[in-house]
Amino acid sequence: MQRTFCLFLIAGLSALSAVAQKLPLNHQVYDSWQRIGERALSADGNWAVFTIDPQEGDGTLVLQSLRSDYRKELPRGYGAAISSNGRYLVYKIKPFYASVKEARNKKKRPEEMPKDSVGIIELGKDSIVKFANVRSFKMPSEEEGWVAIHFE
């Protein structure tokens, strides 16, 4: 009886230790880590926007309603600004990471590199208006309904 009990005890402990082994930290694990980058709240506190950036590759801009379950992920988005009236989100869209990397490897001139775009979304809706070949954009701090876009 004691012998059987000891056998089961040893088998149980060895199975437990096999399950509890931790994975080693190496460069493959580091590459899969992501971080929260830019963060912003709307003036009325109803919307949060933030970026999730991988170590290498295309990030995601996340638009989250703080009053409902509405959540929208905007691939490659960054530099977001919410209008002062809390109705619109304006953000930049990076070109695909792979296309930028390929252009750099081919040593293309700056004017031949892939360009950013701008997206405008009405908060709570799914439609996005996009403008290509954009250098920057600016929104007024108090006036509503305006955005200035600087094209390449």
List the Cα angle 94/131/69 in 5-degree steps. 70
Tell me: the pLDDT tens digits for 93-152?
999 999 999 999 999 998 889 999 999 999 988 899 999 999 999 988 877 778 888 998
pTM, two decimals, is: 0.78
Contacts within 8 Å (CB) and 24+ apart, 44-50: 44/86, 46/86, 46/123, 47/82, 47/86, 47/89, 47/123, 49/80, 49/82, 49/89, 49/91
Check residue 97 and report its DSSP letter. Answer: H
